[in-house]
Amino acid sequence: MSSARNECLFCKIARKEIPATLVYEDDSLLAFKDISPQAPVHLLIIAKAHCEGPADMTPEIAEAVGRIPQVAARLAQEFGVAASGWRLLTNSGPDSGQTVFHLHFHLLGGKPLGGKLCL
């Protein structure tokens, strides 16, 4: 296993080495509650396989990531924000605000988020 995967916080969560409040899991994706929520509903959706960002996706990871909008829509329904609206976004690289270098998507909702993309 590569050093990056050994030390990656989200890889550790995916391997169940670190506890998280899981809300969805299948063979290739995992979703859990953000520990520092920026909205009443703030979930993180990741591919279980390590990938730092969009430029590093293998075909297998790209296939899994392609299902994230569908999973996000299901979670938005389950968490009661589907009707009022929700946001799905990812950050790529330090200037974007990415702090955990494992490709992940934020599902945010439960309050008016406005047009501003910065949290």
Catalytic residue among 50, 102, 104, 106: 104
Which pLDDT tens digit goes with each residue over 29-48? Answer: 999 999 999 999 999 999 99
DSSP states of 41-105 as a string?
EEEEEEESS--SSGGG--HHHHHHHTTHHHHHHHHHHHTT-TTT-EEEE---SGGGT--S-S-EE
Residue 104 annotated to the active site: yes
**pTM for the full predicted model:** 0.92
Q: Give 112's pLDDT tier (boundaries 50, 70, 90).
A: very high
